[in-house]
Structure 1
Amino acid sequence: MLQSFIVIDELKEKRSATSSELTSSGGWQVAEGPPFLPEETLKDLGFRVYAGTSMREISFNMPKIDAVLLVVSPDQVAPWRTRLHTLRSLPLFWWCDSQTFPSNECKIDHGIDGLLGPSMSALEIHCALLLGVNHYFQRTEWHQEREQLLSKLEERKWVDQAKRILCEIKKISEAEAYDFLRKQAMNERKRLVDVATSIVKVYQLLQDQNQGGRKR
């Protein structure tokens, strides 16, 4: 359940300046009263809101928050996402208005979990947050599964290399090589992949030494 946000608003000063120009120009006015501000919108909905644009401010507030709202131009979404991920993984929302999304040509970053905007009602914002949090957990789960799969493939590569080396040196079958690795891992109380990695690295080191000796 989301209770607190940090709002990273790079366009706050620009928005305020634009609003002042429109309301004092004698021409048209967007709306009566103050402009829609992301921080105020979230506060009105009962969320605790922290603000920051420097990594020092953000790092200080990170333990207190449940989600991030970016109020930045489209080309700044990915850099901010990368910087924030080094601190903590959190649901990431993007504030979409005429300043952050000036045209229909820009692409939305794949790491964004949801969009919020000034024209949304309270119900629409709550629904967007709910869907966004669900998307975040699904995305995180998929990322973890992907990392696990890549790790298993990497482990399989080391084991296969070790088996080929053992087959070559000991003149045994692949099944016998695998049994050797498994027994060695049990005897040394290590993971199978750790034993396999050691064999491959020692073998490669000996190969390099032999090649260096022949060159001399």
Structure 2
Amino acid sequence: MRSLLIIHNESTATERRTERSARKLLPEYILQSEGYQVRHTNKEEQAREWLMESEAAILHVPIADINRIAPKLLERKTVPLVWWCSSLTMSQSLESCEDDVRIDGVLTPSMSGSEIHWVLHFSTKQCFERKQWADEKQMLLSKLEERKWIDMAKGILCEIKNISEAEAYELLRKQAMNERKRMVDVATSIVKVYQLLQSQK
């Protein structure tokens, strides 16, 4: 990982205009001195644009801002989100430390180059594991939704045709094959037509 995007807010952006000794604690200074290519911005639209060329986003903002910024970034591109925990961002985050925050790692100004490397490496692994979990969760929710429609359609067929659940399932399966559709699509059609007829009674 070489290309990093640092996102500031208004208060952390003013830190960059401080005296030279304090500047050495800024994320862009530290990360550049460790060989990383760094861009930084406090503008959300620019952050979303530059994110496309970055391998991670370093959030130099209070914790309360992370949950507002993160979804906008991640709808653009999946990258590790790493919080830069400076004395300023920490002091602005005291009330938010119990919040459920979506970050993959934490960096501090006192870390050595190898510690920074390992945090970024770990953050990348964490980010893609969480994406995989989110994808699996979405797939399971989708399957549960499909199961719901199929079960409702089976119930309707059992009631109307006076058949068993197994027979209703087999009827749905055959209809789906005949129409060259997914079983859930046939089931959804049956349920919606049934609900429409019931509402007209």
TM-score scaled by length of structure 1: 0.85
User: What are the ranges of 5 or more consecutive residues in structure 2 without an aligned counterpart?
Assistant: none
C-alpha RMSD of matched pairs (Å): 1.9
User: What is aligned with 1:178?
Assistant: 169
Taking only the aligned residue pairs, the percentage that are identical comes to 46
Aligned pairs, how many?
198
After TM superposition, give the deviation of residue 59 of structure 1 in Å. 2.9
Determine which of 73, 90, 101 is the counterpart of 1:101: 90
Return closer, same or farther for 1:53/1:104 CA change in 2, 3 Å cut-off. Answer: closer
User: What is aligned with 1:54?
Assistant: 43
Q: How does 1:54-133 map to 2 (within 5 A)?
A: 54-102=43-91, 106-107=97-98, 109-133=100-124
Q: 1:54-91 CA deviation, whole Å, 9 max, x = no partner?
A: 23212322321111110111110110112212222211
Return closer, same or farther for 1:108/1:95 CA change in 2, 3 Å cut-off. Answer: farther
Structure with higher Rg: it is: 1
User: What is aligned with 1:189?
Assistant: 180
Return closer, same or farther for 1:96/1:110 CA change in 2, 3 Å cut-off. Answer: same
After TM superposition, give the deviation of residue 33 of structure 1 in Å. 6.7
User: What are the ranges of 5 or more consecutive residues in structure 1 without an aligned counterpart?
Assistant: 24-31, 211-216
Give the Cα–Cα distance (whole angstroms) in 2 for the partners of residues 120 and 46 of structure 1: 14
Give the Cα–Cα distance (whole angstroms) in 2 for the partners of residues 13 and 146 of structure 1: 37
Question: SS at 1:61's partner residue?
Answer: helix
Question: SS at 2:87's partner residue?
Answer: coil
Question: SS at 1:93's partner residue?
Answer: strand
Question: SS at 2:181's partner residue?
Answer: coil
Give the Cα–Cα distance (whole angstroms) in 2 for the partners of residues 95 and 73 of structure 1: 9
Structure 1 residue ranges, 4+ long, deviating more than 6 angstroms after superposition:
none
